[in-house]
């Protein structure tokens, strides 16, 4: 973990302790490192997990409000626009620790950066609604209603009501992922090529087209 990521993780942990009722019970600071106990899960997750995700992300965001970057620190993934909190930047199922189907911790802060809350919110919804890696023909009206309900559960748990442009942010989020893959200025071209070969870039492009098609219907249902 970088100095930037370690510093953010430690401040969040200290802040969560002040708020705490055990949501981050899987986190322990040992020898100045953040160690995590639990499991990573595959989507889709059960409905009660969506409530936990909303609470977890809100507490993480709130814990970062007063975060200051260490001297000589530089954010590597700057977001244009209003900076409300420090965004995790990649809060997918691979970066969340679950215990008994409940999320207990975020991991991997390498893409953390100041930004609006909705930057993370849109990505979590994309991953967990889910709107990720699904064929267009599967999106019947019944499925859209189910997904909209899952989105509402997450948003209500987070306490986020300004969602009129949620799907615009989601599309921008995926376009940013695509740009990162297609950029020639990445700091790790070997890793980027491995991910492209594994299908990550194609997935984001496919999902972007899907979200563009269903966002109107989903927005009306939320």
Concatenate the DSSP letters of all residues of 159-173 into one string.
Answer: T----TTHHHHHHHH
Residue-level pLDDT at 136: 86
pLDDT for 11 equals 55
Listed as ranges, residues in the chain with pLDDT below 70 are 1-44, 186-187
**And the tokens for 150?**
């899952």
Q: How many CB atoms lie within 10 A of CB 64?
A: 19
Domain span at residue 81 reads: 3-221
Q: How far apart are CA 50 and CA 166, in angstroms?
A: 17
User: What is the spatial distance between Cα 60 and Cα 36, in angstroms, rounded to a whole number?
Assistant: 16
**Residue indicated by tokens 């442009």:** 165
CA-to-CA distance for 110 and 90, rounded, in angstroms?
9
Per-residue confidence (pLDDT) for residue 29, from 0 to 100? 32
Angle, CA of 57, 10 and 2, to the nearest 5°? 95
d(CA 9, CA 72) in angstroms, rounded, equals 18
Number of domains, the chain: 1
pLDDT attached to residue 140: 94
**What is the tens place of the pLDDT at every residue in 84-95?**
999 999 999 999
CATH number of the domain to which 178 belongs: 1.10.510.10
């Amino acid at each position: 973990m970088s100095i930037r990521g370690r510093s953010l993780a430690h401040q969040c942990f200290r802040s969560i302790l002040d708020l705490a009722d055990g949501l981050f019970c899987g986190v322990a600071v040992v020898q100045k490192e953040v160690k995590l106990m639990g499991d990573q899960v595959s989507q889709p997750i059960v409905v009660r997990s969506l409530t936990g995700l909303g609470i977890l992300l809100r507490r993480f965001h709130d814990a970062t409000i007063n975060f200051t970057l260490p001297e000589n620190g530089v954010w590597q993934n700057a977001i244009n626009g209003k900076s409300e909190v420090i965004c995790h930047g990649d809060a997918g199922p691979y970066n969340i620790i679950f215990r008994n189907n409940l999320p207990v911790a975020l991991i991997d802060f390498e893409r953390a950066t100041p930004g609006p809350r909705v930057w993370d919110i849109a990505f979590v919804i994309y991953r967990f609604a889910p709107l990720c890696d699904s064929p267009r023909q599967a999106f019947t009206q019944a499925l859209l209603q189910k997904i909209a309900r899952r989105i509402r559960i997450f948003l209500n748990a987070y306490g986020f009501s300004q969602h009129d442009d949620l799907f615009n942010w989601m599309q921008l989020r995926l376009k940013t992922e695509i740009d990162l893959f297609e950029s020639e200025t990445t700091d790790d071209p070997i890793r980027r090529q491995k991910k492209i070969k594994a299908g990550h870039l194609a997935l984001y492009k496919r999902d972007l087209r899907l979200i563009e098609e269903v966002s109107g219907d989903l927005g009306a249902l939320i």
